[in-house]
Structure 1
Amino acid sequence: MLNNITTALEALPALPAPRRAALDALLKQGLPGKKDEDWRHTDLSILDQLSAADIAPSALNHDYPSAYEDGLDALNTALSGGTQTRTLEGKVELDTGLHQRLKLKVSGDVELVLQDITPSRFATFFAEIEVAPNSRLRLLRVQQADSQAQRLTNLKILLARDAQLDAVTVDLGGRFVRNDLYVHLNEPGAGVQLYGLYAPTGSEHVDNHSWIHHRAPHCSSREFFRGVVSGSARAVFNGKIFVHEKAIKTDSETRVANLLLSKTAEVYAKPELEIYNDDVKCAHGATFGQLDEDAVYYLRARGLDRDMARALLTQAFAQEIIEHISNDELREKITQRFLSRLPQGNTSGKA
């Protein structure tokens, strides 16, 4: 795998020294494998198909890190060509369909939409976002890539005093998708509300990992994910809450619910808590199931055919997440995209 990546990078007309350093770090550290607990159910060997066409050109105005957290961090730097720094204001949309490495600063009330704009086969999107005191970031990440696309996304969000994060993440496509989300509640009064929906179908694979660190007193976190898995698709969810020693009065909850629409669909879900003080209020849980056939029968008795009944019940399940998308246009588009991917197709009556 790494030989293939090296060949692709060295195919560039000129490989700048910082990108060469990132490549050397990647070769030294390697990529995670199935022996790593966080990668037990996700196989990175799909990156064997990487080619020079998947690599971003070098840029003069990018910064480069002096050290890398792991092999994937080095991979993103080698592929993206370094870090861009931006201050966000108002409403902003960024493209996750390209290799990018960003450092973003949020002050005030900011609405950020991350979605695939450029169609590409393979992309790594890494971003660190600092949210200033008394600021609010409303984040929507939407991944709707085609059935051959491969995506690696890594978001690190740092919350200062009384900063708030309201986030919705949606995965409705991609052959291979891995999303890593780190949230650090670094100062008192910080809070996060995180809602996620994943709906792989066919032979797609989507993996969502999150780490929420409560580092200060009087912080809160809510994490609710729902999965709708069909065909021979595989979904992975791991949400881990860390409550550090000084983070008294922490209030945290993580829940994940999964709906399996076929006998060959697979889901691995593992919410976790790691707590280092006693003055906390924490809860977590995971559920798995199929559609309620009694509910299907009830709807059919009122004139709906079986496909329509199943689609309505599945939509109601997913709507618990979709309803938190504040942008009306995007919410409607995501709803229609979700319905079109159900085994029975789009039964909403809309194109």
Structure 2
Amino acid sequence: MSRLSSSFKVLALAAVLAAPAPSALAWGSSGHRLVGVLGTQGLPSDVPAFLRTPEAVAAIGEYAREPDRWKGSGKIHDHDRDSAHFLDVDDQGRMYGGPMFTVETLPATRADYETALRAAGVDSWKAGYLPYAIIDGYQQLVKDFTYWRILVAAEKMATDPMKKAWYAADLKRREALLLRDLGVWAHYVGDASQPLHLSVHYNGWGDYPNPNGYTNSRSIHFNFEGPLAKAVGDEAQVRALMPAYKDCACSLETRVVGYLTTTWKLTEPLYALEKSGGMVETDPRARAFVQDRLAAAAAALRDLVTEAWRDSANGKIGYRPEISVADVESGKADPWLDLYGKD
């Protein structure tokens, strides 16, 4: 069982009592909660303090489970969202037989991706669209942070009592929204470290060439990310495996594709581990594999949030014309109409 840190003991008992059965869509509750907690605990001191409190860390850990808890909301709801959890990359490195999964060949938008897949006779509901879910959530986070920066500056400089009070209230709303947006998005960042979310061999090797005789058991996915991850996902050990933050000085697409590609390449090693009988909690190879993947997810979450915060310093809000964070912070622009509404 995972050790509970003091950062989320406040919610731990309620979480245990309320948690549903682990979903086959992603890491189980324990894994996603651990990724959310460790990723947030690792944020640097320049990220706003409200995100780094024990209460915020606990909330993000719980929100990171939320997309799995949506399951069963309804046919339209589920059909649209379920494919955000994965990307089926085949043995040739193609996205379910469509474009190659590289930075250069990743279609620029979901619409372009859908067009490319349909040309290959498939669609994104079967292929999955996890990289787009991560990029989408990142861009939302940058915008949330941009509004936060502008509200902080506006409240500080406001002289009109009514406007000052509104800015203060809207800042609280923005902080609550940030916790929710970040936490839910953390789920997809976590999914991207699980090899069975990046492969056509997502639940047994399937109807593909199988010269090594890998299992076709449809329990491998659940057993790996659920009971096994819960049994060996020790918080202190996973934290110790998290690599230090490194600015790749690259585009968001390059970082995301690189992260997911690293995960995809671990699909066959996972099947080889299972074939050798090593996918059990008493095998040190299983412990090392699972903990490495959880640490990779927590580090990716920490790094992406850090970069979103720093990118927001150059952010803008409004519409024709836009106003920048720098213009508001310097007093050059008054954000009132862009924040309260121009109608």
Work out which structure has the larger RCO, using CA pairs closer than 8 Å and 6 or more positions apart in sequence: 2
TM category (shorter chain) comes to under 0.3
With the length of structure 1 as denominator, give the TM-score of the two structures: 0.26
Query: Of Structure 1 and Structure 2, which has the larger fraction of its residues in helix?
Result: 2
With the length of structure 2 as denominator, give the TM-score of the two structures: 0.26
